[in-house]
Amino acid sequence: MAAPHKTLCPYCGVGCGLEVVPQRPSDDPTLPQRWQTRGDRAHPSSQGMVCVKGATVAESIDQDRLLYPMLRESLDAPFERVSWEVALDQITHRIRDVLEDLGPDGVYMYGSGQFQTEDYYVAQKLIKGCLGTNNFDANSRLCMSSAVSGYLQSLGSDGPPCCYEDLDLTDCAFLIGTNTAECHPIVFNRLRKHHKRNPHVKLIVVDPRRTETAQVADLHLAIRPGTDITLLNGIGHLLLRWGALDQGFIHQSTQGFADYTDVLRHYEPSIVAERCGIAEADLETAARTWAKSQSVLSLWSMGLNQSSEGTAKVCSLISLHLLTGQIGKPGAGPFSLTGQPNAMGGREAGGLAHILPGYRLVKNPQHRQEVEQFWGLPEGQISPTRGLTIGEMIPALEHDQVGLLWIAATNPAVSLPDLNRTKAALQRSPFTVYQDAYYPTETAAYAHLLLPAAQWGEKTGTMTNSERTVTLCQAFRPPVGEARADWEVFAEVGRRLGFADQFQFATSADVHREFVQITQGRLCDMTGISHEQLATSPIQWPCPTQETADTAADTAPDKHNKRLYTDHHFAYPDGRARFMPYHEKGLAEPADDRYPFVLTTGRLYGHWHTQTRTGRIAKIQKMHPQPFLEMHPRDAERLQLADQDWVEVRSARGTARLPVLVTKNIRPGTLFVPMHWGSLWAEDAECNALTHPEACPISLQPELKACAVQVVPLSPPDQSQSLAQVEERTALPVAMVPHNPVKSSEPETHSSGVLSSS
Ligand code: SF4
Model pLDDT for residues 229-280, shown as the tens digit of each residue: 999 999 999 999 999 999 999 999 999 999 999 999 999 999 999 999 999 9
The whole-model pTM stands at 0.93
Atom of ligand 1 nearest to the CA of 186: 5
The CATH code of the domain at 597-717 is 2.40.40.20
Task: Specify the CATH architecture of the domain 5-60.
Answer: Single Sheet (2.20)
How many residues appear in the chain?
758
Q: Is the pLDDT of residue 729 over 60?
A: no
Domain boundaries, the chain: 5-60, 70-143+343-522, 157-337, 597-717
State whether residue 166 is helix, strand or coil. Answer: helix
Give the percent of the chain with pLDDT over 70. Answer: 92
Compute the mean pLDDT over every residue in the chain, rounded to the nearest whole number. Answer: 92
Reported as a single tens digit per residue, the pLDDT across 643-655 is 999 999 999 999 9
Question: At 717, is the pLDDT very low, low, confident or very high (cuts 50, 70, 90)?
Answer: low
Using the mean position of ligand 1's atoms as its centre, give its distance from the Cα of residue 185 in Å. Answer: 7
Ligand 1 pocket check for 733: Cβ under 6 Å:
no
pLDDT at residue 3, as a whole number: 84
pLDDT for residue 142 is more than 70: yes
548 has a pLDDT exceeding 60 = no
185 in contact with ligand 1, CB cutoff 6 A: yes
**Is pLDDT of 555 > 80?**
no
- 116 pLDDT higher than 70: yes
Question: What does the pLDDT read at residue 1?
Answer: 64
Place 545 in a pLDDT band, splitting at 50, 70 and 90.
Answer: confident
Amino acid at 664: K
Section 713-738 average pLDDT? 48
CA of 258 to the centre of ligand 1 (A): 42
Q: Is the CB of 641 under 6 A from ligand 1?
A: no
Element (H, E) at 147: helix 145-155
**How far is the CA of 244 from the CAs of 107, 236, 241, 289, 581, in angstroms?**
53, 9, 8, 11, 18
Question: Which spans in 293-418 are helix H?
Answer: 302-305, 310-324, 343-348, 365-375, 390-398, 412-415
- In the reported structure, the alpha carbon of residue 126 is separated from the centroid of ligand 1 by a whole-number distance in angstroms of 31
User: pLDDT above 90 covers what percent of the chain?
Assistant: 89
Q: Is 13 in the pocket of ligand 1 (CB under 6 A)?
A: no
Which pLDDT value is given to residue 746?
32
Specify the ligand 1 atom closest to the Cα of 39.
Answer: 6
DSSP 462-500: EEE-TTSEEEEE---SPPSTT-B-HHHHHHHHHHHTT-G
Q: Does 14 sit in the ligand 1 pocket, CB within 6 Å?
A: yes
15 Cβ inside 6 Å of ligand 1: yes
86 has a pLDDT exceeding 60: yes
Q: Per residue in 483-519, pLDDT tens? A: 999 999 999 999 999 999 999 999 999 999 999 999 9
Our answer on whether the CB atom of 603 is closer than 6 Å to any ligand 1 atom is no
Which atom of ligand 1 is found nearest the CA of 46? Answer: 4
Spell out the CATH class of 157-337.
alpha beta
The number of the ligand 1 atom at minimal distance from the alpha carbon of 52 is 3
Task: Express each pLDDT in 330-388 by its tens digit.
Answer: 999 999 999 999 999 999 999 999 999 999 999 999 999 999 999 999 999 999 999 99
Helix, strand, coil fractions of the chain, as percent rounded to 5: 35, 15, 45
Q: What is the pLDDT of residues 656-701, one digit of tens each?
A: 999 999 999 999 999 999 999 999 999 999 999 999 999 999 999 9
pLDDT (average), residues 506-533? 97
CA of 281 to the centre of ligand 1 (A): 36
| Ligand 1 pocket check for 620: Cβ under 6 Å | no
687 lines ligand 1 (CB under 6 A): no
Lowest model confidence (mean pLDDT) among 158-162, 249-253, 269-273, 548-552? 548-552
pLDDT at 28: 74
Q: Which atom belonging to ligand 1 lies closest to the Cα atom of 15?
A: 7
Regarding the beta carbon of 12 and ligand 1, being less than 6 Å apart is answered yes
Identify the band that residue 726 occupies on the pLDDT scale cut at 50, 70 and 90: very low
- Averaged over 394-414, what is the pLDDT? 98
What pLDDT, on a 0 to 100 scale, did the predictor assign at position 114? 96
∠ Cα 600 683 185 (to 5°): 45
Confidence bin at 29 (pLDDT 50/70/90):
confident
Q: Does domain 70-143+343-522 have CATH number 3.40.50.740?
A: yes
For residues 93 and 610, what is the distance between their CA atoms, to the nearest angstrom?
Answer: 32
Ligand 1 centroid – CA 51 distance (Å): 5
| Ligand 1 atom nearest 608 alpha carbon | 8
- Cα separation of 578 and 703, whole Å? 25
Q: Is the CB of 9 under 6 A from ligand 1?
A: yes
